[in-house]
Chains A and B, each alone.
Chain A
Amino acid sequence: MNKTALNDVHERAGARMGEFAGWWLPIDYGSAIREARAVRDSAGIFDVSHMGRLEFLGADALSVLQMLFTNDAGRLEDGAGQYTLMCNAEGGVIDDLIVFRKSEDHFLAVVNASNLENDEAWMFGLIPPLVTLVDETLVTSLFAIQGPRSAGILAAAGLAEAADVPRFHFVLGQIAGNEVLASRTGYTGEDGFEIACRNDSAEQVWAALLDAGQEYGLAMCGLAARDILRIEAGLPLYGHELDENTTPVEAGLMRWVKLEKGDFIGRDAIEDRVRRGPSRRLLGIQMHGRPVPRHGDVVQTPVGEGAVTSGAFSPTLGHGMAIAYLPPEAVEGMPVEVSIHGKNHPGLVRNLPIYRAQGK
């Protein structure tokens, strides 16, 4: 089991720890609901060092990424990033990730912890000898600061330039004398940043951020809050909404597939699926009360059956909520029944995301 550089810090802070994707991580620091609310109202900080971080180096790096990923990395300038997908020849999603351009021959990809090994195996077979792939996951740490007050906290921690970084861009700077890479990205549906640093700086950077965040109501948050927030924000989690038998067409991710950019792995299959239309669609469900749908629960709709991929209690709505694959004819407002723990509970179809941050 991998442990992050902050394992002792979390345990001292009273975190309830648990296993996720081969890592020992904070699940919550007492109350996931309170942590999720802090992110919506002010800010939260997460240790997400389990996320895989891969660097691509070499003159041909861009052409490799263009072949591996569905989005158009050719549009990236230095300091910019984009959400993208890696698909197999059948168009099935191998992973979803964010790729950043550090310079014209240097890119950084942030991938799912659960897929890191599989991604590397897939990439190694497809990367030419002149492009070097470096796995930085175990030598660096990654923290997410999420919530409306995130930029203020980074400024208070000495990274004033963060406030001017556009969404999906990054800046290199210093926190408490340590080099960091701060990108305006996240997994909560709020404004926020993800901050990477070397493992030997991790404790100092974390402490400086907590310190700066004190007057902003910054809360330490675990994976349970992260899951609630990403479901509210309609963001897919690999293994739930995405897998190798799901194409970006069903998952509603075609905005991040650039069919016109030229050839890439999975292109023909995805084009074909677009032509034929998807057999299911990813949609949201808001329950009438508090019942909590879980992965795998069956959904009855007036136009056929579907299945829950993720569910949680939404502290923001005060209702149970779910993301589900439903028949393609399902539309917002349709009544559904979700079979939860052997009993049917009513809800309504919602477009994703179920929650959208104010001002977006």
Chain B
Amino acid sequence: MYPDNVKYTKSHEWVRVADKMATIGITDYAQEELGDIVNIELVQPGSTLSAGGLLGSIDSVKAVSEIFSPVTGEVVEVNDELETAPELINEEPYGSGWLVIIKMDDPSEVDESMSSEEYERFIEPE
């Protein structure tokens, strides 16, 4: 459940890079831990964020959690479908459950993120 065409963060976001565009979501592990996701609030398109900046918040049945941007840049697109169907994050965390697309200031920023193997070791040490 950890595709290797994306990079992973310690706060359980994934990022998929094409040129300067970074598509961001939360990992399968994160959605599984959260349980049913019932609401999501994301930053507006046009916002600029630094790596580690607040991207939004996710309400699951249990609790609200914050999501952070793995990269620095401008939010060019937000997944509007999640407004009425946040369960897409549970169903397809790497597909239709994506959160935002950010135009990165510096694409080399993602080099510091984890590979799928590193992430798997991170969430299940031994």
Interface residues of A (CB under 8 A from B): 16, 27-28, 31-34, 224, 228, 289-292, 294, 312-313, 320, 340-341, 343
What's the nearest-Cβ distance from chain A to residue B65, in Å? Answer: 10
Q: Which residues of A contact B57 (CB under 8 A)?
A: 341
Q: Which residues of B contact A31 (CB under 8 A)?
A: 35-36, 90
Q: Which residues of A contact B64 (CB under 8 A)?
A: 292, 294, 340-341
Answer whether A313 and B39 are a contact pair too, CB < 8 Å, given A224-B61, A224-B62, A294-B64.
yes
Q: Which residues of A contact B83 (CB under 8 A)?
A: 290
The 5 closest A-B pairs by CB, nearest first: A313-B38, A290-B39, A292-B59, A33-B36, A32-B61
Q: Which residues of B contact A343 (CB under 8 A)?
A: 41
B39 close to A228 (CB less than 8 A): no
What's the nearest-Cβ distance from chain A to residue B1, in Å? Answer: 15
What's the nearest-Cβ distance from chain B to residue A216, in Å? Answer: 23
Q: Which residues of B contact A27 (CB under 8 A)?
A: 35, 62
Closest chain A residue, CB of each to CB of B57: A341
State in angstroms the CA–CA spacing of A52 and B12 once bound together: 39
B73 within 8 A of A: no
A228 close to B61 (CB less than 8 A): yes
Closest chain B residue, CB of each to CB of A320: B39
Q: Which B55-96 residues have a C-beta within 8 angstroms of A?
A: 57, 59, 61-64, 83, 86-87, 90
Additional 5 contacts, C-beta under 8 A, given A28-B36, A31-B35, A224-B62:
A290-B86, A292-B38, A294-B64, A313-B39, A341-B57
What's the nearest-Cβ distance from chain A to residue B94, in Å? Answer: 19
Contact indicator per residue, chain B 16-51, by CB within 8 Å of chain A (1) or not (0):
000000000000000000011011010000000000
State in angstroms the CA–CA spacing of A140 and B83 once bound together: 45
Q: Which residues of A contact B87 (CB under 8 A)?
A: 33
B61 close to A33 (CB less than 8 A): yes
25 contacts between A and B (CB under 8 A): A16-B35, A27-B62, A28-B35, A31-B35, A31-B90, A33-B36, A34-B36, A224-B61, A228-B61, A290-B38, A290-B83, A292-B38, A292-B39, A292-B59, A292-B64, A294-B64, A312-B61, A313-B39, A313-B59, A313-B61, A320-B38, A340-B64, A341-B57, A341-B64, A343-B41
Closest chain B residue, CB of each to CB of A292: B59
Closest chain B residue, CB of each to CB of A290: B39
Q: Which residues of B contact A341 (CB under 8 A)?
A: 57, 64
A290 close to B36 (CB less than 8 A): no
B62 close to A33 (CB less than 8 A): no
What's the nearest-Cβ distance from chain A to residue B54, in Å? Answer: 11
What's the nearest-Cβ distance from chain A to residue B33, in Å? Answer: 9
State in angstroms the CA–CA spacing of A294 and B65 once bound together: 13
Q: Which residues of B contact A294 (CB under 8 A)?
A: 63-64
What's the nearest-Cβ distance from chain A to residue B78, in Å? Answer: 15
What's the nearest-Cβ distance from chain B to residue A297, in Å? Answer: 10
Q: Which residues of A contact B38 (CB under 8 A)?
A: 33, 290, 292, 313, 320
Q: Which residues of B contact A290 (CB under 8 A)?
A: 38-39, 59, 83, 86
Q: Which residues of B contact A28 (CB under 8 A)?
A: 35-36, 61
State in angstroms the CA–CA spacing of A320 and B64 once bound together: 13
B39 close to A32 (CB less than 8 A): no
State in angstroms the CA–CA spacing of A289 and B90 once bound together: 19
Closest chain A residue, CB of each to CB of B38: A313
Answer whether A32 and B59 are a contact pair too, CB < 8 Å, given A290-B86, A341-B64.
no
